[in-house]
Amino acid sequence: MIVAYAKGRLSAVIDGVYADHSHIAGKFTMLLSSRVYVGGSINTRALPGARVHNNFVGCMRKVEFVADTLRLNLLELGRSGSHLISVVGRLDYKCPAGETHDPITFTSRESHLILPPWNAKKTGNISFKFRTNEANGLILFNGGVRPPRFEIKSRYEFYMVPLHLQLALHNVCSRDFLGRSFSIEIYNGHIYVHLDLGSGAAKQRGSRRRIDDGAWHEVSFRRNGRDARITVDGFHTDFKTSDGSNSLELDGNMYVGGLGPPFSEIPIPVGLWTAVLQQGFVGCFKDLTVNNEAIDVAAYAREQDSASIKTLCHTQPPQCISQPCLNGGVCNEGWNRFICDCTNTMFTGPTCGKEAATLSFNGTQHMEVNMDSEQVTQTEDIVLRFRTSKPLGLLLITSTVDTGDRIELAVAAGRIRMALRLGVKDKKQEDKEKDKILLAGQNVNDNEWHTMRFSRRGANLKLQLDNHLPIRAETQGKHNTLQWRTIHIGGLYHLEEEISMTTTVPNFIGEIQQFYFNNIPYIELARASRGEQSIVGFPGIRVAAKFVKHATDNLHRPVTFRSKHTFIGLPMLRAYSSIHIDFMFRTREANGLIMFNGGRKEDYVAVELVDGHINYVVNVGDGTVTLRDTSRANLNDNRWHTVGIRRPSAKQHTLMVDDDIVVASNPGIGNLELDGILYLGGVHKDLYSQLPQTEVKSRQGFEGCIAGLDLNGESPNIMEDAVVHSSLVTAGCEGQSTKCSHNVCANGGLCVQQWHAYTCECDLTTFTGPTCSDESVSYEFGPNRGIITYTFPEDNRPEMQEDSVAVGFITTKSDAVLLRLVSGTSNDYIEIEIVEGNVFVVYNLGTNDHPLGEISVKVNDNAYHIVKFHRSGHNSSLQIDDYNVQSSHPPGHQLQVFNSQSQIQIGGKWSKGKSRIERPFTGIISGVVVNGLRVLDLAAEKDPHVSIRGDVQLITGIHDRQDHLQKMQQTPASDFPGLEDDLVFSGAGSGCNGDDEDECPPLPESGSGDDDLITPVYIPPTRPPPTPKSKGTPPKVGVAKPCDDEDCFNGSGGGDVTEETTNATSQATEGPSTTISTPEATTPKPEDTATSGPVGFTHSSTTTTPKEDVFVPVSTSQMTKETTTVANFEVETTKTTTTSTTMWYTKPPYIPQPPPPYSDYPTLGTKPKRHPERVTSETSEIVALIIGIIAGALIAVILIILVILKFKSRSDRSFKIDDGKGYQQGPNAALLGSQSSTNGNQSQYQLNGALRNGDKQGQFAQKPKKRDSKDIKEWYV
């Protein structure tokens, strides 16, 4: 091939036949050349205009560079060592004979190739070349027939088989199946060959000197019957296998480079130590010849694991020079990689950048790893990091059912004690005197972290503590195999049917981390797979200890994606047979694609943020698996969150976000065959439409910070290792956390902006911490009555114009007092109580009792609820969880100040006279804050102003008592019975008690299609035991005067609570606390319609008897009228004047207007017709009697009144408009909505609620007609 350039013309000629020419645009004619690359470059991707990313592999015979009069033979200059030429790597200045294939590089311990079995029944030969600088690695393995797997329903079922059958079955499997194998490994820098023809394993070393020097070495193996020869770099070693079989039948596949991830179903020979220790080969491999036939391993690599196995071989400079290991990790050089040893630190990961999982043991807890089958090993590597203050404690012990073999590691007398017992076939013949004992260290119970390492290679033992000199020893006797199945960490646990295994060492008290058994991190594995799903071949891990975290602010290589329209491209994800992805992120955006890597066919992997939650989607060719985190709060809260993704076995996927873990099963056992680059932070805008539309929801990128990225054992530098860069991605995490936003503070906390930062005000959240996300102090109130009382100092009793109270609680009790704030000099009080499962607040500032409640939310459902109450003067508001805010604005002259606050009572009402707790609370109360005073925190700190009486105890947290805690509930499924009953339509009339139809709003004629539909809300009648009546209250005589509204709610709610339902007839029903009358009514002529407002209230006051019944009307909208249930609350009070408020709520129509305050009701898409709203007010029994007489005898008079009403009072009458007609209201709607005081005038919350009759433009009524004393009465049943 000749490439030439002259005067702007570029030409290329191949073999003198194939030619192509091109012209370069521009006026220049000279080409400046300073450097020439032959065969590639250090970074081929970075070369300008390069479309090929790989260097050349093959043979070049002549390379000449000619420029004007300059002629250089570059290959000859390189051979002669000219100073003009620099050579990178190792070049052979000759071309090999025959066909050449590309070399391959295994880049990780788990990367491997699967080839057809080696057909060498009688004779055969294998040869290959390799280079590496790593001392251990499995190069080739070919096993025999896989033994049949027995289905074991439980992990101990196998041992129900008689022992002699187990041994016979084990011997058959070992001899006929497991025994036949061939393998080549490099161990401690030497080549070893393992050959077993079924009559016994033979292990032969083939190298004279260490061959882990990074140079190419050639290995060949020949076999003829029982005779074998291994040749390494021309040095021959002959050996023979054991007498018996001379046939090698290998029906299993040939594995090159290793066996893949752990817990595979491949039977591993006992003596193949690199396979037992999970050490695959890392280095270059080429020229594989099997039975004199060349195998193109590069072609297999391209078809199988092209990400982890590179089809090239390069040497790179030492990696540890850049000090990649963080937090004190030790860096070791590998083949073109660094290996961080993090076992002496509190961190883990490829660069020791992630906090290690830590277990805390209290002496009764343990961790157990139970393997799928019995394990027989000649080598073990154990690493364990611990700290304790106790001089005696069991760290680790292995066990099996039918033998006495064990390894025991313990803290004994302040030292590390290792006891090894081998070759005990019968547990009954155990002899502790034969244990091999090693002791190391001094004073290890100093509550400091210590790292213990134990290793065994056959009979050779080594025990090391921290960085001290190791202690070495050898076992005696012929036994060098250990049989085990279960590993116990921190303590012993076994089932009753298991044969007893005793130890004199007590359970461990302290913390353990960094536990590795044969290079498998079991504690990390336990944290990442807490789904406890039994998988064939995968060990069962049971953790009774508690995972703990040590606060660390560790961000490794953070980057900021400053736009949702950018991305970074990284090399392809190496996740062929296992997936191991870790990263941290912080964002305020609820949606965005974080990671995507496509593949061949349908394979792909994606991680995205959808509606504030992590969505992990993967397809390995057997169908899509989707996992979504179970975090209770959205993750786009501008705080750091940790994500861990694993594929611990072929059939299992796990997603861990912070401490929440989701486990899913894979339908098949396929491998993840990816292709192309790994997109981070998004993809190109044109590729979103090509993503799997059903599974991947993102249509934009990720905007925020990402840190600590670990990809299957690698920790890439996102900025430097990117193959596709972006100017909108910058190193570091830009500080966006200094500004307030809607989701900075959790659980409804109030963000307070400061100059360079923000703070979260958490007083009304019942939570604490910098972002209101930490649980507050909680107390549990038992069934035997208990109360917490805070007493203000006598010289510092506050006079409060405003009060704010927040209480969090969990209970199943339907009647109790949560909190009571009382005065020391007057009858002022505030009481938060539960009545029939609903929360009510009653407060008195010296005039009247003002009740306020939320009856649409049941709080006795054993879920966590938050009550927030605020009082400003005589006005107040109440909110339960995140439901609508209920407010009260009592009319008239009211006192404003809570005088001389003296006590805060939590958990009940303390009666001084009886010296007992009335209406006690049972459950959990958390995070009580009264005017900024955290009472429960003071109680936990044993403040002298706080006293605790009765059955009250401090608990560590709400999560300890309730697994599925819902912190903020919204619109739960109603637990009211009868919601599916048929609707009951009432014919009881309009409910108007006036004797003049001018007093009554007209109703539509029957059959007009405009009748109202009322959805009944049934509240089950329950009768909690009444509290004793206060002294001085006169007994009730006769039937009390009816009351329209909850503002008739007098007193503290200490009376009976009853409910009754009446028929739609003209009769009175008497009960303990209820009087309901539903008179007959007529149907007047409909009047003109008017636009209705969303919320309306009327207020009036009257003089009543000392004890009254309170009626809470419940109604909704559309079609015909119905009877509904009326809940009565009998309340005691010493006042003779009270306030009655009639309240209803409506829905706003769907019109393009700003939503009014406190109007959160859903609307439909069509605009309904406008109808006048019925008006209700107080009336007397005399008026009701007059209306009854008129309704029964003077129908003609009513018709005349309708005509007068139409022509006379149209222009100056006010109506309360119900715009909810045409909509059906659900049973969970807020029945005690936000109130506003009017005193005859419309407030801002009523908006269009008062309109001039017949006014088409919807103007406000300027001069509403003053009503007579004969007000309208509306009755509900």
Determine contact, residues 43/51, Cβ cutoff 8 Å.
no
Residue 163: in which H helix or E strand, if any? Answer: helix 163-172
Determine contact, residues 48/38, Cβ cutoff 8 Å.
no
Give the pLDDT confidence score for residue 549 in this predicted structure: 83
Interval 1089-1098: pLDDT, tens: 333 333 333 3
- Sequence-distant (≥ 6) Cβ neighbours of residue 944 within 8 angstroms: none
- Sequence-distant (≥ 6) Cβ neighbours of residue 783 within 8 angstroms: 922, 951
Amino acid at 8: G
What does residue 927 show for φ and ψ, rounded to 5 degrees?
Answer: 60, 40
Q: Where are the domains of the chain?
A: 2-80, 104-144+179-310, 317-353, 356-548, 559-731, 776-955, 990-1027+1040-1277
Interval 320-353: pLDDT, tens: 998 889 889 999 999 999 999 999 999 998 888 8
CA separation for the pair 1158, 955 (Å, rounded) = 37
CATH number among 3.40.50.150, 3.20.20.60, 2.60.120.200, 3.40.640.10, domain 104-144+179-310: 2.60.120.200
Sequence-distant contacts of 942-949: CB under 8 A, at least 24 apart = 945/790, 945/791, 945/792, 945/793, 946/788, 946/789, 946/790, 946/791, 947/788, 947/789, 947/791, 948/786, 948/787, 948/788, 948/789, 949/786, 949/787, 949/788, 949/789, 949/917
| pLDDT reading at 42 higher than 90 | no
- State mean pLDDT over 950-966: 68
Tell me the C-alpha to C-alpha distance, in Å, between residue 1044 and each of 1058, 1064, 1271.
16, 18, 12
Q: What is the DSSP code (8-state) at residue 395?
A: E
Give the pLDDT confidence score for residue 22 in this predicted structure: 76
Overall fold of domain 2-80: Jelly Rolls (2.60.120)
CA separation for the pair 722, 571 (Å, rounded) = 7
Give the pLDDT confidence score for residue 738 in this predicted structure: 63
**Of residues 81 and 1228, more confidently modeled:** 81
Q: Which of 772, 799, 886 is nearest to 839 (CA)?
A: 886
Tell me the C-alpha to C-alpha distance, in Å, between residue 319 and each of 40, 87, 335, 336, 708.
21, 20, 9, 7, 19
| pLDDT reading at 421 higher than 50 | yes
Q: What is the DSSP code (8-state) at residue 177?
A: I
Strand partners, 643: 583, 657
Max mean pLDDT range (808-822, 1153-1167, 1176-1190): 808-822
CA separation for the pair 1231, 884 (Å, rounded) = 10
Give CA torsion, residues 1185, 1191, 1194, 1199, to 10 deg.
Answer: 130
Mean pLDDT, the chain, rounded, equals 75
| Per-residue pLDDT band at 1004 (split at 50, 70, 90) | very low
**80-94, 141-155, 889-903: least confident range:** 141-155
Give the pLDDT confidence score for residue 87 in this predicted structure: 84
| Per-residue pLDDT band at 263 (split at 50, 70, 90) | confident
**223-227, 389-393, 1198-1202: least confident range:** 1198-1202
CA separation for the pair 996, 1010 (Å, rounded) = 24
**Of residues 395 and 67, more confidently modeled:** 395
1136: left (phi over 0), alpha (psi -120 to 50) or beta: alpha
CA separation for the pair 609, 594 (Å, rounded) = 7
Three-state secondary-structure class, residue 1046: helix
| Per-residue pLDDT band at 830 (split at 50, 70, 90) | very high
| Per-residue pLDDT band at 814 (split at 50, 70, 90) | very high
Q: How many residues are listed for the chain in this entry?
A: 1277
| pLDDT reading at 1080 higher than 80 | no
Give the pLDDT confidence score for residue 879 in this predicted structure: 92
| Per-residue pLDDT band at 831 (split at 50, 70, 90) | very high
Share of the chain above pLDDT 90, in %: 37
User: What is the per-residue burial (b if ≥16 Cβ within 10 Å, else e) of 1040-1074?
Assistant: bbbbbbbbbbbbbbbbbbbbbbbebebeebeeebb
CA separation for the pair 265, 109 (Å, rounded) = 18
Give the pLDDT confidence score for residue 846 in this predicted structure: 87
Give the pLDDT confidence score for residue 431 in this predicted structure: 58
| pLDDT reading at 361 higher than 70 | yes
| pLDDT reading at 1163 higher than 90 | no
- State mean pLDDT over 487-506: 68
| pLDDT reading at 1223 higher than 60 | no
Determine contact, residues 125/219, Cβ cutoff 8 Å.
no
| pLDDT reading at 1269 higher than 70 | no
CB atoms within 10 A of CB 1213: 22
Q: What is the DSSP code (8-state) at residue 498?
A: S
| pLDDT reading at 471 higher than 70 | yes
Interval 102-116: pLDDT, tens: 899 999 999 999 999
In degrees, rounded to 5, the angle at the alpha carbon of residue 302 between the alpha carbons of residues 299 and 304 is 105
CA separation for the pair 440, 646 (Å, rounded) = 36
Overall fold of domain 356-548: Jelly Rolls (2.60.120)
What does residue 341 show for φ and ψ, rounded to 5 degrees?
Answer: -95, 105
Overall fold of domain 776-955: Jelly Rolls (2.60.120)
- State mean pLDDT over 1170-1184: 50
641: left (phi over 0), alpha (psi -120 to 50) or beta: beta
Does the domain at 559-731 match CATH 3.40.120.10? Answer given as no
| pLDDT reading at 227 higher than 60 | yes
Max mean pLDDT range (67-81, 740-754, 804-818, 1224-1238): 804-818
Tokens 């004279």 sit on residue: 208
| Per-residue pLDDT band at 1167 (split at 50, 70, 90) | very low
CA separation for the pair 1091, 1169 (Å, rounded) = 8
Give the pLDDT confidence score for residue 621 in this predicted structure: 84
**229-243, 356-370, 887-901, 1223-1237: least confident range:** 1223-1237
Three-state secondary-structure class, residue 940: helix
Tell me the C-alpha to C-alpha distance, in Å, between residue 1045 and each of 606, 871, 894, 1042, 1146.
57, 21, 19, 9, 17
- State mean pLDDT over 488-501: 63
Determine contact, residues 1073/1113, Cβ cutoff 8 Å.
no
Amino acid at 267: P
- State mean pLDDT over 790-795: 91
- State mean pLDDT over 740-760: 75
Q: What is the DSSP code (8-state) at residue 1122?
A: B
Q: What would the DSSP string read from start to end of 887-933?
A: EE---SS----B--EEEEEESSEEETTTTEEES---EEEEEEEETTE
Sign of CA dihedral 1157, 1159, 1164, 1169: negative
User: What is the per-residue burial (b if ≥16 Cβ within 10 Å, else e) of 74-86?
Assistant: bbeebeeeeeebe
Interval 399-414: pLDDT, tens: 988 788 899 999 999 9
Tell me the C-alpha to C-alpha distance, in Å, between residue 275 and each of 83, 340, 378, 936, 937.
47, 21, 12, 58, 56
| pLDDT reading at 1207 higher than 80 | no
| pLDDT reading at 1151 higher than 90 | no
**Of residues 1118 and 74, more confidently modeled:** 74
Helices (H), 791-837: none
Give the pLDDT confidence score for residue 492 in this predicted structure: 82
Residue 640: in which H helix or E strand, if any? Answer: none
Tokens 């061959």 sit on residue: 211
**Of residues 22 and 926, more confidently modeled:** 926
**Of residues 871 and 1133, more confidently modeled:** 871
- The DSSP bridge pattern shows strands 190-196 and 293-295 to be unpaired
Give the pLDDT confidence score for residue 9 in this predicted structure: 75
Strand partners, 6: 9
- State mean pLDDT over 1062-1068: 36
Interval 625-647: pLDDT, tens: 999 998 888 999 888 999 999 88
> Cα 745 vs. chain centroid, distance in angstroms?
18
May I ask the CATH architecture of the domain 317-353? Ribbon (2.10)
- State mean pLDDT over 834-855: 92
Give the pLDDT confidence score for residue 384 in this predicted structure: 96
| Per-residue pLDDT band at 530 (split at 50, 70, 90) | low
Interval 539-567: pLDDT, tens: 889 999 999 987 666 678 899 998 888 99
Give the pLDDT confidence score for residue 1098 in this predicted structure: 35
| pLDDT reading at 12 higher than 50 | yes
- State mean pLDDT over 973-979: 40
484: left (phi over 0), alpha (psi -120 to 50) or beta: beta
1038: tokens are 């006769």
Q: Which of 334, 326, 446 is nearest to 105 (CA)?
A: 334
Give the pLDDT confidence score for residue 1042 in this predicted structure: 42
| pLDDT reading at 27 higher than 60 | yes
**Where are the extended beta strands (E) located within 458-545?**
460-465, 471-474, 482-489, 509-517, 520-521, 540-543
Q: What would the DSSP string read from start to end of 943-990?
A: -TTEEEEEEEEEES-STTT-SS--SS--SPPP--TTTTSPP-B--S--
- The DSSP bridge pattern shows strands 704-711 and 559-561 to be antiparallel
| Per-residue pLDDT band at 892 (split at 50, 70, 90) | confident
Interval 158-205: pLDDT, tens: 334 444 444 444 444 444 445 689 999 999 999 999 999 888 889 999
Residue 1205: in which H helix or E strand, if any? Answer: helix 1195-1208
CA separation for the pair 44, 35 (Å, rounded) = 14
CA separation for the pair 1243, 1249 (Å, rounded) = 9
| pLDDT reading at 819 higher than 90 | yes
CA separation for the pair 500, 430 (Å, rounded) = 12
Same fold, 2-80 and 356-548: yes
Give the pLDDT confidence score for residue 62 in this predicted structure: 83
Share of the chain above pLDDT 70, in %: 70
- State mean pLDDT over 1191-1205: 76
| Per-residue pLDDT band at 956 (split at 50, 70, 90) | confident
Determine contact, residues 1086/1005, Cβ cutoff 8 Å.
yes
Give the pLDDT confidence score for residue 458 in this predicted structure: 92
